[in-house]
Structure 1
Amino acid sequence: KKSGLITYMRTDSLNLSEEATKKALQQIESKQGKKYIQGIRKYSSKSKGAQEAHEAIRPTIVELAPDEVDKFLDSDLAKLYRLIYNRFMASQTSNAIFHTTTIFVKGEQGARFKIQGRTLEFDGFYLFSKLENRDRIVPDFKVGDRLILQHVQKLQKWTEPPHRYSEAGLVKKLESLGIGRPSTYAPTISTLVDRRYISIEKKQITPTEIAFTVTEILEKHFPNIVDKSFTAKMEETLDSIAEGKEDWQKVLLDFYFPFIQQIEKGKKEIKSLKSATPVGRECPECGSELVKRKGRYGEFIGCSSYPKCRYMENIDGTPIKRKEVKLSDEKCPICGSPLAIKEGKNGEFLACSSFPKCRYTRPKNPKYLDEVNCPKCGKRVIEYTHTKKPYYRCEEYPKCRFSSRSKPKGET
């Protein structure tokens, strides 16, 4: 028998059904005792764009504890279920109680110091989550006690620029501005990475040069569209349409015609970034004129006869060495062109020689799953293991869009 273990997951609603909360309270009382419950607890979202048409994400069967389902799930899914279950149960458990001590110390020259400590008296909802540094005990001082100064540490600090956003930090910022929906945050960041507007290293998001260029152009020619309040207002308008408070045709007409006028004006005023500036030298390979161009990774110098001649230099004049394309004996399963052997950060891989018309790629020595086929098209599935966690793709990706972090079960 198959059954979903959690409720609808594409929501950030905090609403919980009365039936679910009552069952949670019964579970807590029967296993932990009455002291761990204090009636049904309700929560509300502070996010402007919260999707609250559904319940909060919770276990569908409250009685089904993580230990009972671990054996039926792979490691990642088991951890995720445990997280959802524990957060749901914690949300209905009584508060933790701490005993807090605050001590003020006065120095002879008037300096004041503060010492704080706490001990956990009752764990409450921490029963379902880890609590680090539970106790921070301070000595049992009495008023008037004289203390001996043992050590002084002097620190010099400078003003630092704001930290770069992490993915989680960016999502939090978007939520605070009322931009986007839970289902759009991940695809938005993924698109920015795919188009190389940003790179993510050590959990920090860094904009690329092309991102600054595109942003500068958009802010100059489409200020009202890229204004952060535009998307938030549009989200509110769409909600009003869904609630029947706005006429969708009128909303479209009010937006469409002014926007088209901006597009037409932009076509005339925005200069092409593909323009080439002569540098006053000849190409050493074919004799054509060398020109300065802007590419995805910044400026470079190239032959004006491209693509017939592919000679290129760095902006300082040093030649860019081109790697000779090695062709394998295999054909692209999508377009039939020869597959080229290329070098990536994880070693050699095969890519269609017709790139960018065809974007097929796969490992040079793919690891196919023997026991299952692609649940979408029936072709073989390749396991990719060069990341921390393996993922799975159809052998004809991107023609077939199947891609998953979880090992497919072979069911469509």
Structure 2
Amino acid sequence: MYAAVCATTAAFALTVGALVSPAAAEPDTPVRYPTGSSANRAGGLGFDTCTAPSLDALRAWKSSPYRTVNIYFGGINRGCTQPNLTAAWVREVAAMGWKLLPTYFGRQPFCKFGSSKPYRYTASNAAYYGRLGAQIAVGNAKDLGLLPGSALYADVEHYDRTNADCRRAVRRYVSAWTTTLHASGYLAGVYVHQDSGLRDLSYTYNSTTYARPDAVWMARWDGNTSLTGWPTAPDSHWAVHQRAKQYRGDHDETWAGVRLNIDSDSLNAPVALVARSYKVTSSTALNARSGPSTSYPVVRTHAPGSTLRVTCQGHGQKVGTSAVWDRLSNGTWVSDYYVSTSSSTGFSSALPRCTYPGQVTAKVALNARTGPGSSYPKTGTPLPRGSLAWVMCQKSGSKVQTSSVWNRLSDGRWVSDYYVSNRSDTSWSAPIPRCP
């Protein structure tokens, strides 16, 4: 990318001295996940290049160490044409096993270094352009098949942070970008330089004036792939699958005879969600239900051999040899036992777990427990404020403040829903399913 010029009451599972109510506003605004959505995340190495590579190039690059590829999917300052970037391309790339890191190259701060990228925003119009950019980005993402729950990243190039108005402009832009994406059911990420955007967003991490983005992608071309120990943001900020780093800038690499000019990235962060196609393997019509159990109503049926668009997999009632259920892009659920995924007993590696992340709202790190109640033992590392609680399902448990709902996280641990930013702090939050 162009920016990196080298350069927790005893009754609860929380170790707090002070408590906060769940966020309905800044900094931890809730994502309004629609039916059929889920989050997805990527780890390991990825690369970004100006023009989306051809399908043949990406087939060849399966021999590389990279497993995620950036796409510049919109923005008035986007510099390259994108002849390959279509919904069909997205489906094919996802079917190959690539994960996508969508980047929106919209307006830049007025004090951006360099004269390139002429479309800029100021402190007075930054919020407007942040909202507008997010609205356009959502439309573009939907056109490409990047489903709600996907993380979309706003590119914020390196800028002169000695200018107070410019720092204010960037914060306003990112805040508006974040709240608008959240209202549309998408996670909000930002690409920033370590010495400007990252520093300023980290400084206002707990501000009640600005919404906090869900993930940061930091540029620092030092060859170090580490996602901790960053000099301009503490490890407690964006701490739970919320970081990416562009660690090497423009260079050529060749894999299986195909050369691309790329930047190299290290990731443990949310990325795009793309539905994948599978077949119904049952000999009779397969029921699609409103939840992951035969106790839920049948919404529709799918004929034997028909194609299903699967977004993610979750826990549910055991059917045959499997307790895994598949969530389809229309929001219904089918037993994975009757779907042509790679396993008839457990989860399939090609599909993400169905998760609905919400930011932790407690002022001090939130303890996770082995079950849905404060009487269960604490387990693992507590979740810092602003970290993402990757919620798979919800279940009734001991009451905490106004809520008796507990969230099962993707790692099997439990946290009280009262301290996770989502649609409700008193009851269930659709479309998160009930835990079996």
Q: TM-score range by the shorter chain?
A: under 0.3
Q: Tell me the TM-score normalized by structure 1.
A: 0.20
Greater helix fraction, Structure 1 or Structure 2: 1
Larger of the two Rg values belongs to structure: 1
Q: Which has the higher contact order (CA 8 A, sep 6+)?
A: 2
